[in-house]
């Protein structure tokens, strides 16, 4: 788990505990739902800090919340499933989904200065140029390109020696 992943999981845990208090479930059910939620997030790999684009993070958020929504029905016996529970889980999942997206986006954007990784790109070809453009132009990326290594005397990217 990355440092920013630890921060995101802490913020989401506090929010989850805050929001689950309004659900009306008993303490045991709340803990089961909490364990299930964070287990799904960890299994999908949301807190590893390896995504470069917000679109990849959204894909992970969608997959983990679909898994949570389906898995949340396993907390209760089948005989107790009702339409009210279905819409309750749906509402809880949507609220958690929106908060996870906002938390992920703004934790990367606001705390980039403290969590960025200095990156050295080996090569100066087309792919290196595109990667550099993504890292510099994408505020979600935590990669801070500090230089390029030119191995074959190419002049594709200006001012690289």
- The most confident of the ranges 10-19, 24-33, 69-78 is 10-19
Task: Please report the pLDDT score of residue 149 as a whole number.
Answer: 76
Quickly tell me which residue has 């800090």 as its tokens: 49
Q: What is the pLDDT of residues 119-155, one digit of tens each?
A: 777 776 777 777 777 777 776 677 777 777 766 666 6
**C-alpha–C-alpha distance, residues 122 and 157, integer Å:** 12
Q: Name the residue with higher pLDDT: 29 or 139.
A: 29
**C-alpha–C-alpha distance, residues 97 and 124, integer Å:** 39
Closest C-alpha among 136, 117, 134 to residue 3: 117
% of residues, the chain, pLDDT over 70: 83
Task: Please report the pLDDT score of residue 62 as a whole number.
Answer: 92
Average pLDDT, the chain: 80
Beta bridge partners of 25: none
**C-alpha–C-alpha distance, residues 75 and 126, integer Å:** 51
Task: Please report the pLDDT score of residue 95 as a whole number.
Answer: 92
Sketch the domain layout of the chain as residue ranges.
Answer: 3-112, 116-161
């Amino acid at each position: 788990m990355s440092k920013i992943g630890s921060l995101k999981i802490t913020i989401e845990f506090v929010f989850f505990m805050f929001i689950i208090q309004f659900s009306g479930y008993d303490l045991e059910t709340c803990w089961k739902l909490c364990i299930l939620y964070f287990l799904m997030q960890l299994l999908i790999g949301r807190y590893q800090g390896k995504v470069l684009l917000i679109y990849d993070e959204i894909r992970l958020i969608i997959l983990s919340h679909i898994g949570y929504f389906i898995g949340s029905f396993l907390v209760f016996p089948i005989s107790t499933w009702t339409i009210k529970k279905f819409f309750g889980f749906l509402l809880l999942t949507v609220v958690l989904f929106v908060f996870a997206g906002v938390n992920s986006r703004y934790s990367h954007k606001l705390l980039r200065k403290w969590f960025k990784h200095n990156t050295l790109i080996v090569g100066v070809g087309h792919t290196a140029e595109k990667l550099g453009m993504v890292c510099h132009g994408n505020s979600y990326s935590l990669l801070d390109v500090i230089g390029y290594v030119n191995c074959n005397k190419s002049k594709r990217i200006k001012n690289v020696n």
